[in-house]
Each structure stands twice: as C-alpha cells, then as structure tokens.
Structure 1
Amino acid sequence: MFIAAMAAVAVGIFALAACGNDDDGAMAGPPPKTERDAYTKWYVQQALDRYEETGRQATIDYYNNEAGSNDQWYVFIIDANSGIGVAHATIPSRIGFNSAQRVDITGYAYGRDLVDSDESGHWVDYVFYNPQTDTGGTKHTWAIRRGDLIFGSGWYEDTYPVPRPTKAEPGSYTRAFVEDVIWFYESNGRSALIDHLDSPDSTDPPSVDGQWYGFAVDLDGVVLAHPTVPDNVGQTLHEILGATPEGLAAADEMVTATETGKWVDYVYLNPQSGQQETKHTWIVKRDDILIASGWYETG
C-alpha cells in the first residue's frame, strides 16, 4: 500500500508540473506567426533566455548573424547606457551607431523610446526598412531591457504606411526619394551606398529620376558620391557652392542636418534644364553620413 500511495503522489506531482509548464509557457512551442504580437514577444523571450544562459558577449555574438532572424522577425540589441547598437541579425551597418538618435520618415524620434525600454517591455511603432520586401513599412517592435541591454524584434505592416507622394508634390516626393536611399543604406551599408549613388544607372532605388538625384556627404562637408556631377566627389560643399555668400551659408546649413532632416535652399545647376535654378534640398543625417536630394524651382 505504501508503494501504491507513493506512486499516486508521484503521478500527482507530475500532473501539477505538467500543468505548470502549460501555464508559464516554459515547455510550450512558439505561437503561430499569424498571431504576430504573441510571436514577437516569444521571439524576443528566446533572446532573453539565451542572455540569461550564456551571458552578454555570447548573446551578442549569436545575434550578429542570420541565426538571429526568422522571416520578417530579427533580433537587435542596444547598449542601454550609451544607446549604441551592439547586435543586429540582418542589418550589420546598425552596429556601432547611436540608436537613440533614430527618427523615422514621419519625424517620430522612436530611437529614444527604444533605449528607454524597461524590464516590463513595451511596444514601439515606427516606420522602418523591411529587409524582406526591400522597402519601408510600419514596424511594431517589442523592446525590453535586461541588465544593461535592450532587446527588440518586431513585425511589419503589409503596406507602405502613408500614400506614396507623386512628382506633382515635389517636396513630399523629394523626402520619399531620400528615404528610399536611406533604406538602401540601412540594408547595405556605407560602401555600397557610395557605389550605388556614384552610378547614374542605379535602380532599386534609382540614383537619378528626372530632376531628382541622390548624393552623399560626410560630416565635414566632403562629397562622397554624386551620380550627375562626378567631379563633385572629393570636393567640399564650400568649394562647390562658395561662389556667393548665399551658397556658403547653404553649405554650412547642410552639414548641420540631424536625423530629423532639414530643408536647405540655394542656386544650383538643374541637369535637366541646363539652367541655374533655385534648388530645395532635403538632407538627413544617418550615423556619420549625410544623404540628400532636391527639386528645382525656376525663377
């Protein structure tokens, strides 16, 4: 009878343990990907568990390659104290730069909200490059802090977050043109961006589209890439625009652009008309590079 009683107790304990595993999810598999919020939280939890089991550096090393991605989901890790990205499974160019300064195309400074995540976690929604579709989309990110690291992953809306502007809206079209170039940079890095913009025949996104062309400048104002005037590469904005006081002022303005972006107006050659016209340039800082394009106005 004693043996039977002990067996019954053991069965009862096993049943309770099994129920406990169902309740806390420790032994459960992932939610279906159709439950995108739940799957995202589960996916981030796998990174947290790895951090607890293997430590900081091993976790960073693991998520700095494609092992840390699954379809549209990928893990990124930010140092909570500095805001610097330390791991990114799909966009290695994000590593080493300040994520706290990130601003999306709508002007939302989402980077600060990511870095300010606490141990309870929260959702941060913003417009970002989708590596799967090679375009931008609204991203819903679950971000949570463990120790001195922020862990995040998210899912994307299926469509572009705002109606794509047309050339009939030159200001809005210019901003979208620049954002497409920025997303190329996010995905491929600095060297690939320079090669892309140095060719007038580049596509996906185009480096040149009628009067619109993208160009890149370093933080000292030295032109890094230019598809329509290759002689500009290596020159400073002061050298290119310095024939007038207004041009010098515009050159100074451009190098002060932030992640939020700014408009700078000056007179410059329109490659389509061959005339000197007022150019309205939208310029945005990303890490240690300035990315720009503009539209021309006669008169």
Structure 2
Amino acid sequence: MKPMTLSAVLGLAVFGLAAPGIAMDGHASGDDIRLTITVTCDIHTDYLDEVITGIDLAAGTIDLGQHAQDCEAVTGYVEAAPASSVVVTIPDGALFPDCQVTNDCFDPYTVTIHEGTTISWHNNDTVPHTVTGMEPHPDGTFDSLVLAGEGFAYTFDTPGTYWYGCSVHPWARGVIVVEPEGGIDATPVSPEVPLHDAMALHQVAELLTQYREDGVDSFQEMTGLHPFREVAGLVVSLADQTVVAHNANPLFVGFHYGHLVESASIPVDVILRVAQTQGVWISYPVPNGMGDITSHERGWVRIYDSHAFISSYTVTMRENVQGMVGEIIRLYAVGDITFDTISSFDMQSPEYPFVVDPGTMLVVADGYDSGRVGTMSEIVDAIPLEDGHGVWTEYVSYNPATGMEEPKRSWLVMHDGYLFGSGYHP
C-alpha cells in the first residue's frame, strides 16, 4: 500500500474532508488551521489524477478513482504558520538603471518589520534578478536567484538594518529595518562616525580638492567617475541651484536641487551660514516621478566659491531622524544654533526637531510650531536617561502632513540636561 498526504489551509474555518465511506467532523477556529488528511490506499497506477478524481471543499469530500482501493483516512489539525503580510516586488523594468533615480528597483524600497517577520520577494520583471544581502549580519547573508515570475522568502529574526540588492543589476537596492517586538531600551549614543558618514566626509574633501586644482573643468572630470556608487558625490551651483556635477549618475546633471534643500532637516539660511565655515549634515525627502516620497537622503554639505559640495546616501526613516537629532545636538553644542533658532525653523514635515525639559516635560524648543514652547510635551511620561543616551518612544502627536492626530515614533537623546528629539509617523 502507498500512503499519500493532502493538506489545505482554509482561512478562518476548515470543514471536514471525507474519503468514500468515512465521515469526519467539521472544525472551526479563530486562527488559520491546517487540516491534514493521510489517506492510505492500494494504488494501481502511477498517475495522481487517476487516484484523486475530485476535491470539493464546500461539500467536504474527496473523490477517489477506481485505481485507489481499500482506502483508510486519518485526519489531524495543526495551526498554520501565519502567512507573510509583507511582500516586496521587483517591478517590470528593474533591469534598467532608471529605477535607481526614484528608488523603485524594489517596491517598496524601505520595509520596516518586527523581528520574526518573513519578507517575500516576487519578480515581476522579464529577466532574472537576485535578492542579495549587501553585507554579513546576525542572521547570515541571504542570497537567492529569483527567476522571472518566481519568488523568494526570508525570515528576519534579529533586529537591525539590512541593505540588500541585485548582484546582476548593481543599481537595484533596498533596505529592511527589523525592529524588536518590545521596543528599544536606552542605549549609549556612539561617538564613532558611521561608515557611510565617513565616506561622505572623505568624498566632499576630495571634490573640494579637485575643484581647487582644476576649477570648473573638474565638474566634467568627476561626473560619472564612480557609476552606481552607494555614497554619491555632487556639486550644486548656488546661482541657479542646479546640479553641475554628479560622480555616480550623469543623468542628475542639470537637475534642480533647490526644492530638495527647501525640504531639508535644516533650514536653508542655517545651511548657508554653517556650511561655509565647518560643514553641516542635512537630510531631505526624495520624491518619485508621481511626487510621492519614496526615500530620504542624508548628506554632508560644504560651501565654497558659490558652489555646494555634497556627498549623500539613502537612509531609512529611523536613520533619518537619528541623524537629525545628532546634528541638532552637534550644532547646539558648538554654539551654531540655540533653542530660539530651532523654534524658528518653521518646518512643515513631520520629522521636525524639538527639545523638552525632562524635569517638567515642557517644550523648550519646537521646529514646527514655536507656539508650543512652554506647553506640556506630547511625551507625557518622564523618560529617565543619562547624558549621551538615547531611546525610542511612541505616543500620539499631530501630523503636519495629514492634519490629524496619529501615532508617532521619536528618537530622544539626553544632552546637557535636555531631551533632544525628532520623530516620524509610521
């Protein structure tokens, strides 16, 4: 006798399936249930469709053909593994470099999940791609060839930020942010410069050196010098706010950069003042062709001879607000900005900076609405932190982008006896 096993997952309710002459009770559950039926028969054919001639889930029957005789069935119920609710598609056309301009090579570009969640990638393009971890991480390196029309799934069990891409098409990039289930405990803010920040600082220094040696001729020399570089270098003319050189993608030359800077985490007047003397970190949203914000860039800016020399790279929303808080603290510590300066930012994006007195939980600076200064912070619970430590917290706050009260996730760092923060609406 040859055994065969059938299984099915039927949403919120599973009905009994019956082999001829064998009745089984129905079963229902609030969770997905997997019904397994092991049917053992004498099989007189090598073709399954001659054994099982029909399955009617509504009626709860399996029809076995004449080639299956003396059948016996044993049923069982097990909880089904939850289906992944997170799907990333590789869209049609991802084989062309144009998709990197709007970060649409993987859709969505940034995915934020909790540990233990499975991501499923599906290739909707006409050619094979890979889903390849860009560097080793605690869960090991994931790497899979995904043929056209096929998929690949991976479960992320360890919190962290996971950059990945396609090894066949190096311009295709994406990022997975894995958050712990119970939130993040207070952690020391590292004084070390992150790798991408160090690369950006070095690249701006190189651009400036090349310009001082060759003048405007350097713009043509540096354009396209490092195609598809993850940390890109560019030069913007302050006269008309257009890109005059871009070492990673020549397509950006002539692009109007001004509207991006106007949406930056630091107001333009502060950028122009600080970047001429010591440089400044900024971040800004990057829209796609439809005007939707698909990602954020973090960049180091130096101004010299009526040009802005910039090196930037794509960051997650978490990295965006953490970087903003770090730069606000740095500028405050060296005296380039005050609480009054922060309150004059008048930013319209939800990622504005703010400062709270932890003793009273009163707002002492607010980059969105200076009228909030002196009012009770929306972070109503006192957060005990040591100086130089940071923590993530969640609460309900007004979202300038929607005009509604919505959940907000903020990064708070204690510095000089005050809580410096910035957040976003997930």
Q: TM-score range by the shorter chain?
A: 0.3 to 0.5
TM-score w.r.t. structure 1 length? Answer: 0.38
More strand by share: 2
Please tell me whether Structure 1 or Structure 2 has the larger radius of gyration of its CA atoms.
Answer: 2
TM-score w.r.t. structure 2 length? Answer: 0.27
Higher relative contact order (CA 8 A, sep 6+): 1
More helix by share: 1
